Structure formats: structure tokens, C-alpha cells
Amino acid sequence: MVVLFQLAALDHNANTGREQATASKEENGGERRYKVVFLKQPREWVAKPIMQKTRDHLKIIVHAMVERMMQDAAERSAVVTALHIPHNQTSLSTPEN
């Protein structure tokens, strides 16, 4: 689970500040792309922009993984450290039933 969260964070960080995607030149001459979604709260349909997505960061991760696997097993560290999870930070005690 930790690795999945870390990969999700890397993917999110790599795709912040993106530009809006455009249609291919053959299709619509480079027009901006939108998707139509239904919002439950105001109960209406709205057009939301489709953003460009990059996967360039995955090449770096895969390359690092391959390099790591090519190392001698004695050189690789097999120790996995758990993340520090803080205790409940509230100043109030848990209510009794």
C-alpha cells in the first residue's frame, strides 16, 4: 500500500500545472478538448476541460528499478522501514459509550 500511495503521489506531482489537451489536427484542427459530466449537487451537466497527461516520470522509475535489479544481491538493501504514523492528535479523550 505504501508503494501504491508513493506512485500515486509521483504521478499527481508530475501532472500538476498541465495544459488543456487538444484534438489531433486531422480530427478538429487542434480544438481544445472537453468532457461532459453530470454534477449531482446543482443537478446539471457541465463541460470540464480534459488536461494533457504525461508519463515521462515512469521511464525514470522503471530505469532505476532495472538498475537496482542488476546490482548484486549483497549490494541491495532489503530493509524496509515503516513510516512513522503519529498517534491521535486530539486533546480530547475518546468518549465512553
Q: CA–CA separation, 31 vs 21, rounded Å?
A: 9
10 part of a folded domain: yes
75 part of a folded domain: no
The total number of structural domains in the chain stands at 1
36 part of a folded domain: yes
β-pair partners for 46: 37
Number of H helices, E strands in the chain: 3, 2
19 part of a folded domain: yes
16 part of a folded domain: yes
Range of the domain at 22: 2-69
Q: What is the pLDDT of residues 16-74, one digit of tens each?
A: 888 888 887 666 677 888 999 999 988 999 999 999 888 888 888 888 888 888 888 77
Of 15, 2, 3, the closest CA to residue 61 belongs to: 3
pTM of the full structure: 0.48
94 part of a folded domain: no
Q: CA–CA separation, 53 vs 13, rounded Å?
A: 11
